[in-house]
């Protein structure tokens, strides 16, 4: 009954557009899914991980004075990497939904982030 009233209110073409839109959201190989599965996305994340590891090592060897310009640079780099890791985790949660938690490495990644 409600569907019939909605169809009458927006017309057949409007109802078809809403139906098509709902189907598009339910089906995935969306843009997000294609990005998530791309080699570039994974290469970018691995590059950030490697750069962050090098940055942490350099910071430990360099031991900048707290509050110095160098310490602020290291803090900024660390915060940028953490932000990227957080966005990556949220993006993967969005794309994979419940299946995200089926992979133990994803769970470990989420706990670390």
How much is the pTM? 0.68
pLDDT tier at 5, thresholds 50, 70, 90: low
**What's the pLDDT at 38?**
92
How far is Cα of residue 81 from the mean position of the Cα atoms in its chain? 13
**Both tokens assigned to 59:** 């910071």
How many CB atoms neighbour CB 34 within 10 A?
Answer: 12
Among residues 53, 51, 18, the alpha carbon closest in space to that of 9 is found at 18
**Both tokens assigned to 63:** 């031991």
| pLDDT tens digit sequence for 16-46 | 665 665 555 555 558 888 888 899 999 999 9
| pLDDT tens digit sequence for 57-110 | 999 998 898 989 999 999 999 999 999 999 999 999 989 888 888 888 888 888
């Amino acid at each position: 009954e409600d569907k019939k009233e909605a169809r009458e209110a927006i017309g057949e073409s409007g109802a078809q557009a809403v139906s098509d839109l709902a189907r598009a959201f339910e089906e995935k190989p969306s843009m997000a899914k294609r990005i998530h599965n791309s080699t570039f996305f994974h290469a970018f994340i691995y590059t950030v991980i490697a750069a962050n590891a090098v940055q942490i090592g350099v910071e430990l060897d360099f031991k900048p004075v707290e509050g110095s310009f160098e310490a602020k640079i290291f803090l900024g780099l660390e915060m940028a990497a953490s932000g990227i890791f957080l966005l990556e985790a949220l993006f993967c949660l969005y794309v994979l939904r419940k299946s995200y938690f089926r992979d133990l490495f994803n769970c470990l990644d989420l706990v670390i982030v």
